[in-house]
Amino acid sequence: MDGAVACCPLAVGAPRGYPPAMGIHDRDPSTWRVRDPGAHAHAVRAMFARISGVYDGMNRLLSFGLDGRWRAIAAGRLDRDVETVLDLCAGTGDLARACRAAGRGRVWLAADFTPEMLQRGRRRRGTDGLHWLAADGLCLPLRDDSVDAVVVGFGVRNLADVRAGLREIRRVLRAGGQLVVLDFFRDDPAAAGDARGAPAAVRTLVARLVPLAGRLVGRDHAAYSYLPGSASRFLTPAEFAALLQECGYDDVVLARLTCGVAHVVSAHSRQKM
């Protein structure tokens, strides 16, 4: 773990207090980078280390079991002929498992920069056959053009620098390789079609219910306030689609899940020069 992370400048942030002020997750809308990448990465890793024991159960509870369905839809978006699939920000490996269950891929790598999440994943039933990789998504210890597809479930929103993350993913993807992202995006009330978010009443419910359940069940109010807070600081689906094109991806397709609560975005890496 340390070797993989140590190569990345984002890993060297001075330790800060926890819980973090939400301000350290604020993004500059001209770059989509957080203002202090070191502090952000440190806080995100500390947060997932703390909740690693309850993470999977809380997902089921907070999404009323829908998270499994969302991952199955995301996995089903992968091209049928992909061989090597990298699940980035894999946590305990749920999305890699969904890819395997959907018959997408033959080799699955599950990469994450929080050792506690990876350890939890390794111990879970049904994750044998997955290859676990301790690595920062902004500085992957993988060769150029080495994977056919990258899937990221609820992870892109955590990257300190979204543009740098998309470029790093493209570096390891072979030309024509596929990226599938499942996440919660910022709402754009003016958006149409699949770029639309959830109705205001649903968003308000999520913003209130998730931190409350996090405090009562997960015993970590700050961590579960981070979810709605980070989504509201993230890109809208349309902004994310535009950023993908800017970062070298084509065939961008957005799909709205459960009334726009979540979105799945698929794209292919453009030919590299």
Ligand X SMILES: C[S@@+](CC[C@H](N)C(=O)[O-])C[C@H]1O[C@@H](n2cnc3c(N)ncnc32)[C@H](O)[C@@H]1O
- Residue ranges that bind ligand X, judged by CB under 6 A: 44-45, 48, 59, 89-91, 94-95, 112-114, 117, 136-138, 153-155, 158-159
Q: How far is the CB of 184 from ligand X (least distance, A)?
A: 10
Least separation, in Å, of the C-beta of 190 and ligand X?
A: 28
Q: Which is nearer to ligand X, 53 or 200 (CB)?
A: 53
* Cβ(130)–Cβ(96) below 8 Å: yes
Residue type, 2: D
CA quadruple 229, 156, 162, 247: dihedral sign: negative
CA distance 100 to 267: 20
Residue 133 token pair: 């990789």
Only one residue has tokens 């506690």, namely: 116
Residue 98 · residue 128 · CB < 8 Å: no
Least Cβ distance, residue 145 to ligand X (angstroms): 20
CB-nearer residue toward ligand X: 92 or 191: 92
Residue 48 or 132 with smaller CB distance to ligand X: 48
Choice between 154 and 249, CB closer to ligand X: 154
Smallest separation, CB 220 to ligand X (Å): 13
Q: Residue with CB nearest ligand X?
A: 91
Indicate the DSSP class of residue 199: -
